[in-house]
Chains A and B, each alone.
Chain A
Amino acid sequence: MSLELSEPLQKVVDSLSENFSDKLVDVYQSSGDTFIRIEADALHEICLYLKNDLHYVYLSDIIGTDRYTSEDRFEVIYNLLSLKDEARFFLKVWCEEENPELDSVADIWKGANWNEREVYDMFGIKFRNHPDFRRIFLPEDFDYFPLRKEFPLLGIPGSIELPNTTPDTD
């Protein structure tokens, strides 16, 4: 595997493989972006290291993905940016279909709060130690996770309530 990493990203890969060699699963490049996949149990530890030691102070986005595979079905992607090194890479973790759960990084990057709630809302991936863990867009009593592949495009009829069409007379 030949990688053409920029200098700051090479530093990230080197220091991760030095400090977390058994947690680093895969490093690859696609369309000019760099992806680093790690073990889910080391997520919080590695994120803390990335922020404190490598200056990845800005978490641009958190994305959930339904890979629709029999093993490790869900994927969560953290889009990290270093303002100091002007470098960006994507940190990936996989989690299984039954009870997908990850550590929250909202204590490291405050902005992760809403992003994690969105990932939960759409995919049902739970985040441990999240300060305010609930749905963000859909109604609280909604029973489904709409971006999962098995969810029908037009939704489940009657799962979200429409307003009453006879006016309240009380």
Chain B
Amino acid sequence: MGLESALGEGYLTTRVDSLTNWARANAAWPMPMGLACCAIEMMAFAGPKYDAARFGSEVMRFSPRQSDVMIVAGWCTYKMSHAIRRIWDQMPDPKWCIAMGACASTGGMHRCYGVVQGVDNFLPVDTYISGCPPRPDAVLHALMKIQDKIKTEHSVMLDT
């Protein structure tokens, strides 16, 4: 990468935490949980115009085993909640969750008996996005917030 010529015989010091978090933050692969119209905006977020690749999140993984960030895009019924939780449980740690749009965050306009009033009722949501549906740049913003969060986490130190 040309780093060798700049450093010469010298070296850099860092913490393993920082190095790991740097790597994790720039390769947060999304698990697209597209449930409604928000999923269309999520596709635009991954597409060339908004280009999630700039943040290392261009690889939409449809397998929970290979993904780091679940984007819940759309309204979630009680029936669907069990499937979503199952997929969430299948994702390996560390993992993060974005509730995209009004419906995923609060139930939105679906204020009725069949729709879960916010996916935070059964998922640990890290970032909420407002909007109905949110613009793709808002999803990018949420992703950057997740990256900020990842960078402040303790990744190798054990909590005792």
Contacts and interface: CB of A to CB of B under 8 A. Distances in A.
Interface of A: 137-139, 146, 151-156, 159-165, 167-168
B27 to A, nearest CB: 24
A162 B81 contact: yes
B122 A165 contact: yes
B111 A154 contact: yes
B63 interface: no
Interface centre among B78, B85, B86, B116 (most CB of A within 10 A): B78
A139 B116 CA distance: 15
| For the complex of A and B, 10 pairs with smallest distance between CB atoms | A155-B113, A163-B85, A160-B78, A167-B89, A163-B82, A162-B122, A163-B122, A146-B113, A163-B81, A165-B122
Interface of B is mostly: helix
A139 B112 contact: no
Given A167-B89, A168-B89, A162 B111 contact: no
Interface of B: 78-79, 81-82, 84-86, 89, 111-114, 116-117, 121-122
B89 A154 contact: no
A139 B86 contact: no
Contact of B112 (A154, A161, A163): A154
A152 B111 CA distance: 11
Contact of A153 (B86, B111, B122): B111
A153 B85 CA distance: 25
A68 B114 CA distance: 22
Given A160-B114, A163-B82, A165-B122, 19 more contacts: A137-B114, A139-B78, A139-B79, A146-B113, A152-B113, A153-B111, A154-B111, A154-B112, A154-B113, A155-B112, A155-B113, A155-B114, A160-B78, A160-B113, A162-B81, A162-B116, A163-B84, A167-B89, A168-B89
A165 B79 CA distance: 15
B84 to A, nearest CB: 8
A80 B113 CA distance: 31
6 contacts: A137-B114, A151-B113, A154-B111, A156-B113, A162-B121, A162-B122
Contacts of B81: 162-163
A137 B112 CA distance: 14
Given A167-B89, A168-B89, A162 B113 contact: no
